[in-house]
Amino acid sequence: MSKVWTGLVAAIALALPATGLAAAPLAAYGALPMIEQIAISPDGQRLAIDFVKGEERSIVVQDLTAKKILTGVKVGPTKVRSLEWAGDDHLLIVSSSYVRGLEEEGVLMGRSEWAVAADFNIATHKITPLLGDVEMAANKIVGPPMVRIVDGKPIAYAAGYYMAQQADAGSGDVRVRESQLGLFRIDLATDRSTLITSNQASVTGYVVGDDGRPLAEETYDATSTQWALKLFHDGVWREAQSGKAALEPPSIDGLGRDSQSVLVEQVDNGRHVLRELTPAGTLSDPLPGPADGVPLRDPASHALIGLVTLVGDDWRHHFYDPSDQAQWDAVSKAFAGASIQLASASDARRQIVVHVNSPTDGPGYALVDLTNGTTAWLGSEYADLASADISPVQPIAFKAADGLELTGYLTLPKGREAKKLPLVVFPHGGPAARDEPGFDWWAQAMASRGYAVLQVNYRGSDGFGWNLMSAGFGEWGRKMQTDLSDGVRYLAAQGTIDPARVCIVGASYGGYAALAGAALDTGVYRCAVDVSGPAELARFVGWSRSRGGFQGVAAERYWARYMGAEGLADPHLEAISPADQAAKVAIPILLIHGKDDSVVPFEQSQIMADALKQAGKPYDFVVLNHEDHWLSRSDTRLQMLQATMDFLAKHNPAD
């Protein structure tokens, strides 16, 4: 094995939490995690590690028994989204890249993230794109690949778009029809793809049984709002359940608790529930456990074995089998004081990789061997940060002005008394998302420079039940916004922060909230930093609709739910659009936006900049070249962070 791979693994193996007293540079916070993910092989003997250095990613495969590197592949700046073993000799690597748009054979695709998968053969060291051999198909997958062991061989199943062909009735010539979503079987021994089923264009996902046969599919037509869940019997798709839903149609999410049922997620009377679609086509009663949980699956059978969810400020793993629960509880005790999540497990679940989020040392990975009763530290995500560089995070709870109970997190600058501190309000994106406890690289970077950082799970946030989420409907730019300033007033009343030294920083919806803090909820903030936020809402919603499919009419309905607007001409959109209200801005604004953003178009920041310029308002505009919506590059992430901190230091100095 080359010295290159030996050096990479040595760097990983020695990536224990750093020690030292000097203040960490911003690059220590703003760089991508050195380890983005780790997956353990079915036999528990190999680790696949997604290792990042600068802009370059490498996938390294390490033999745990021999304690040596087997192989590796450099993938460069490619954004690796997931790693999944397919047997002990194949690793499926899913990555994505920004596509500016293409038009071919009558198919129009707008700007989007294009997901692809590849098979990395551990024995031959070769990497082969999945679906690369399919004629008239885009090398694009929809959803994660599904791995099944069929006749003792690992087989991958992937949904992908292809151009269907048919003979012209008059001339007999072969003509291309519209693209369809098909389910492909990929024999990993040869990487040969076979189309095993396809259906109408409204198919949005498939589930494959543990025997490798198609089991279920979901369809949804956003225009008619018609949905259906279908089961595959005797080579024919038969409708099992159907109905109409303007938003949130039922969706299938892999196998249920056995190899015959399918897990179904749906909203029932405003409540998220999980049910199983049985082979008879009926839906079971809601499954026990948290309805908002993420499925935990058996690595070998892929059956549902439990759910993981955030309860309060800790991740809880709910296993259906009491012995599984007892085993996990024992693992949790080994990491007392830290929050842990199951990251990967061998087929026998005797060797497991856990993601550890320590309040003092930050996030990293550990390997637990239940057979030997040992635990080994694999590496920190942010190896250049010492414990002294990580600020404490504490949960907070307060009431909004209308009495609604809200929660959030407050990061306090280490070594400073929690009195009269300068504050950065840091709202999350979504808005149907939430802030979580533990290490947040962006919040930690701001705290390291002397700022208290407030993250509020405002009304409309997900993860706290339907009541809190639905309380945000129609409150975009209204109470969703004042929830943030109510948090400022709460901290000011406690004496923790100085209400005269408050700025707001956010990305995506949080970027909108930053702009709205400057243009709508005035008098609270001294400055605002918007990263990739929508600024002119009618134009933004119109762009979302123009993308077609679920991103079309359903997207418009989704935004209307939060914005409280009836159509693009509703004057309410203008009233809550920062670009339309730029004349009301009385504080400096920093705009930051990635040129390759496929979620909020770059033009939204251009529109805001033009509106501020026309209104004679102060602003700066930083363009992140080749950056997407999620700040997936180290260089531009650091560029954003440096620009933000320079702006805060100028307009709201911490000292």
Residue that has been written with the tokens 């690949």 in this structure: 145
Give the pLDDT confidence score for residue 107 in this predicted structure: 41
Pairing label, strands 421-425, 452-457: parallel
Give the pLDDT confidence score for residue 548 in this predicted structure: 54
Is the Cβ–Cβ distance between 288 and 270 less than 8 Å?
no
Give the pLDDT confidence score for residue 162 in this predicted structure: 81
Mean pLDDT confidence for 548-565: 77
pLDDT of 105 > 90? The answer is: no
pLDDT digits (tens, 9 = 90+) for 452-499: 999 999 999 988 888 999 999 999 999 999 999 999 999 999 999 999
Burial of 219 (0-12, 13-18, 19+ CB in 10 A): buried
- Provide the token pair at 347: 């087929």
- Among 497, 488, 405, which Cα is nearest to 450's? 497
* Three-state SS at 99: strand
Is the Cβ–Cβ distance between 17 and 386 less than 8 Å?
yes
User: Would you tell me how many other CB atoms lie within 10 Å of the CB of residue 569?
Assistant: 9
Q: What is the dihedral of CA 102, 509, 572, 590, to 10 degrees?
A: -90
Q: How far is CA 490 from the centre of its chain?
A: 30
Give the pLDDT confidence score for residue 13 in this predicted structure: 35
- Cα(636)–Cα(27) distance, rounded to whole angstroms? 11
Give the pLDDT confidence score for residue 165 in this predicted structure: 61
pLDDT digits (tens, 9 = 90+) for 21-38: 457 999 999 999 999 999
Which string of DSSP letters, residue by residue, matches 107-158? EEE-SEEEEEEEEEETTT--EEETTTT-TTB-S--SS--EEEEETTEEEEEE
Distances (CA, A) of 553 to 180, 224, 558, 564: 20, 10, 9, 16
Q: Which residue has the higher pLDDT, 236 or 136?
A: 236
Q: Which residues contact 646 (CB under 8 A, 6 or more apart)?
A: none
- Cα(203)–Cα(103) distance, rounded to whole angstroms? 22
Is the Cβ–Cβ distance between 219 and 230 less than 8 Å?
yes
- Percent of the chain past pLDDT 70, that is, above it, reads 91
Mean pLDDT confidence for 41-48: 97
pLDDT of 110 > 60? The answer is: no
Q: Which residue has the higher pLDDT, 124 or 112?
A: 124
Q: Which residue has the higher pLDDT, 14 or 323?
A: 323
Q: Which residue has the higher pLDDT, 201 or 238?
A: 238
- Cα(476)–Cα(559) distance, rounded to whole angstroms? 9
Mean pLDDT confidence for 54-65: 93
pLDDT of 9 > 50? The answer is: no
Q: Domains of the chain by range and CATH?
A: 1-77+321-390 (no CATH), 391-536+577-651 (3.40.50.1820)
pLDDT digits (tens, 9 = 90+) for 359-387: 989 999 999 999 999 999 999 999 999 99
- Cα(549)–Cα(425) distance, rounded to whole angstroms? 35
Report the DSSP beta bridge partners of residue 326. none
User: Would you tell me how many other CB atoms lie within 10 Å of the CB of residue 526?
Assistant: 18
pLDDT of 348 > 90? The answer is: yes
Mean pLDDT confidence for 155-171: 74
* Three-state SS at 362: strand
pLDDT of 231 > 50? The answer is: yes
Give the pLDDT confidence score for residue 479 in this predicted structure: 97
Q: How far is CA 61 from the centre of its chain?
A: 25
Is the Cβ–Cβ distance between 591 and 611 less than 8 Å?
no
Averaged confidence pLDDT in the chain: 89
Mean pLDDT confidence for 633-646: 94
- Cα(562)–Cα(446) distance, rounded to whole angstroms? 29
- Among 447, 336, 473, which Cα is nearest to 391's? 447
| Cis peptide bond prior to 17, omega within 30° of 0 | no
Give the pLDDT confidence score for residue 20 in this predicted structure: 36
Give the pLDDT confidence score for residue 343 in this predicted structure: 97
Residue that has been written with the tokens 């929690």 in this structure: 418
- Provide the token pair at 456: 């509020």
Mean pLDDT confidence for 336-345: 94
Mean pLDDT confidence for 230-234: 93
- Cα(229)–Cα(250) distance, rounded to whole angstroms? 8
Report the DSSP beta bridge partners of residue 206. 217
Is the Cβ–Cβ distance between 192 and 130 less than 8 Å?
no
Give the pLDDT confidence score for residue 655 in this predicted structure: 84
Pairing label, strands 90-99, 79-85: antiparallel
Amino acid code (one letter) for 60: V
pLDDT digits (tens, 9 = 90+) for 510-542: 999 999 999 999 999 999 999 999 999 999 998
Sign of CA dihedral 157, 163, 169, 172: negative
Mean pLDDT confidence for 633-649: 95
- Cα(440)–Cα(434) distance, rounded to whole angstroms? 13
pLDDT of 16 > 50? The answer is: no
Is the Cβ–Cβ distance between 142 and 214 less than 8 Å?
no
User: Would you tell me how many other CB atoms lie within 10 Å of the CB of residue 444?
Assistant: 22
pLDDT digits (tens, 9 = 90+) for 415-429: 899 999 999 999 999
- Provide the token pair at 498: 């100085």
- Provide the token pair at 246: 């303007």
Q: Which residue has the higher pLDDT, 3 or 440?
A: 440
Amino acid code (one letter) for 16: L
Q: pLDDT grade, residue 8 (50/70/90)?
A: very low
pLDDT digits (tens, 9 = 90+) for 64-90: 999 999 999 999 888 899 999 999 999
* 559 dihedral zone (left: phi>0; alpha: psi -120 to 50; beta): alpha
- Cα(219)–Cα(196) distance, rounded to whole angstroms? 17
pLDDT digits (tens, 9 = 90+) for 591-631: 999 999 989 999 999 999 999 999 999 999 999 999 999 99
Distances (CA, A) of 605 to 72, 179, 431, 533, 542: 40, 33, 19, 7, 16
